[in-house]
Chains A and B, each alone.
Chain A
């Protein structure tokens, strides 16, 4: 294992985060805080509790997940896309480094940033809303698992993208709508029965449900299914990444 290379990629990517602190950290924290102000404090104070939880507290797991998914995808896709765009990918491809090590470096850094952001937003939300965490270890576990899974997904997008527009398409056109419709702002059982069934085809439902369970012990679907679906999606991403490196798709001729 080329640990020096993994460390080099990881630190290089993390250094970019510190260099662009406003964009990487401050911006998502501020925008999520606005959600808490609007939906948590302002509107939430006039809404009824959901399963005994105040609306402001109810949306915290969903909002963190919304940010986590977008940031994981964004960090990882940008991380691998930029060397492709600037041409510096030649150095990674010519280095004595395996595909696993490349992924560990890029995805590890992207997931780390997302987890740090998630924890920052969690801490920030405490300024606006009272909440408790029923299963803190599970909460951290879901946070890390989701960050890694969607960083893998972002890595795939970064390899696939051949322009900046494509980097944004999937997060904007697919991930964000799925997150909004995946129970960020409501419980699935608040939907009409037909829509409840349709919603179960949305993979983000399982992520938010599992994450919310770690906070309040309530879930739209069972914790086992949530965990299973998340792991399944991660395996799908891993398989795709394996295929990318096996075929050299958009990396090697």
Chain B
């Protein structure tokens, strides 16, 4: 299937000389939810802004829904909706007026029935006559989403959609995003919340210093996420693993003072009880134990700070 967004060798250098994007290649699949993770200043918003037409690229090519964003900007932009990071609205307009304005701006004829549906879906219908300035922060963010959806886009960019919103609204948004995907909308979201990416995304991309560090299926990442380690501090160090413990999942560490057992907890492969029985049978005693597991957040942090290094496990106990 053709990607709905194709980014090739995209670079952006601002007038200040800051290079925000460096030869980025990325493809977004039609109908997926793609989470773009990265620290502040990594280039997430610049990338989104270029695709949406807000920032000029320095080099490279971007196609949205098969249309070059520069040569065929009308068709490309018509297919895109954007919810920016900052809540930017016309404070003195009513919800209805601002959503209707957005629809017109994107070249769509008035369609009160569709606007009503969007507002109802986002629980904004009762607020339609209210001025935006009178709405709560969460409601304002919903208005931003309603504006982005007003022209029936095929692609929706959500730049930090749940930043600063309460847990309940965040859950509502997750549900809304899933519902949008069910209706055929491709969603690209940036977030700082790893949980959010885990919860929503089909694929996850990590960007750092203007470069795409990783793009991977979420489930593949979850495989990494599922790796756990049990570390046993042995009472007496071992020179080598005894016959009964020669197993791919077991290894010695800390000059033989630690026995490390690696297993995939998500697939029920861990057999700690069995290991302890084997140790007792061999007369190997331990004075302490701890388990550690790698998380998506750790994978993310390790990619961002030490791109070449392997993810470090997280201490749990």
A96-B80 Cα distance, complex, nearest whole Å: 10
A98-B72 Cα distance, complex, nearest whole Å: 11
Q: Is the CB of A94 within 8 A of B14?
A: no
In the complex, what residues of A have CB within 8 A of residue B101's CB?
Answer: 8, 11-12
Whether a CB of chain B sits under 8 angstroms from the CB of A88 is yes
Q: Is the CB of A5 within 8 A of B105?
A: yes
Whether a CB of chain A sits under 8 angstroms from the CB of B304 is no
**Per-residue CB proximity of A6-30 to B under 8 Å, as 1/0?**
0111011001000100000000000
In the complex, what residues of A have CB within 8 A of residue B107's CB?
Answer: 2, 4-5, 95-97
Which of the listed residues A9, A86, A90, A95 has the most CB atoms from chain B within 10 Å of its own CB?
Answer: A95
Q: Is the CB of A252 within 8 A of B54?
A: yes
Whether a CB of chain B sits under 8 angstroms from the CB of A169 is no
Whether a CB of chain A sits under 8 angstroms from the CB of B53 is yes
Chain A residue, CB-CB nearest to B97: A15
Q: Is the CB of B147 within 8 A of A87?
A: no
* Residue from the list A11, A91, A252, A253 in contact with B147, Cβ < 8 A: A91
Chain A: minimal CB distance from B252 (Å): 55
Whether a CB of chain B sits under 8 angstroms from the CB of A248 is yes
Number of interface residues of A (CB under 8 A): 25
**Per-residue CB proximity of A71-105 to B under 8 Å, as 1/0?**
00000000000000011101111111110000000
Q: Is the CB of B55 within 8 A of A95?
A: no
Whether a CB of chain A sits under 8 angstroms from the CB of B90 is yes
Q: Is the CB of A91 within 8 A of B15?
A: no
In the complex, what residues of B have CB within 8 A of residue A95's CB?
Answer: 77, 105-107
* Residue from the list A4, A19, A93, A248 in contact with B109, Cβ < 8 A: A4
In the complex, what residues of A have CB within 8 A of residue B104's CB?
Answer: 4-5, 7-8, 11
Chain A: minimal CB distance from B272 (Å): 53
Q: Is the CB of A252 within 8 A of B56?
A: yes
A87-B84 Cα distance, complex, nearest whole Å: 10
> CB within 8 Å of A: which residues of B?
14-15, 49, 52-56, 73-78, 80, 82, 84, 86, 88-93, 97, 100-109, 147
A-B contacts, 8 listed (Cβ < 8 Å)? A4-B108, A12-B101, A88-B90, A91-B102, A94-B77, A96-B74, A96-B77, A253-B55
4 closest Cβ contacts across the A-B interface? Answer: A8-B104, A87-B88, A96-B74, A96-B77
> CB within 8 Å of B: which residues of A?
2, 4-5, 7-9, 11-12, 15, 19, 86-88, 90-98, 248, 252-253
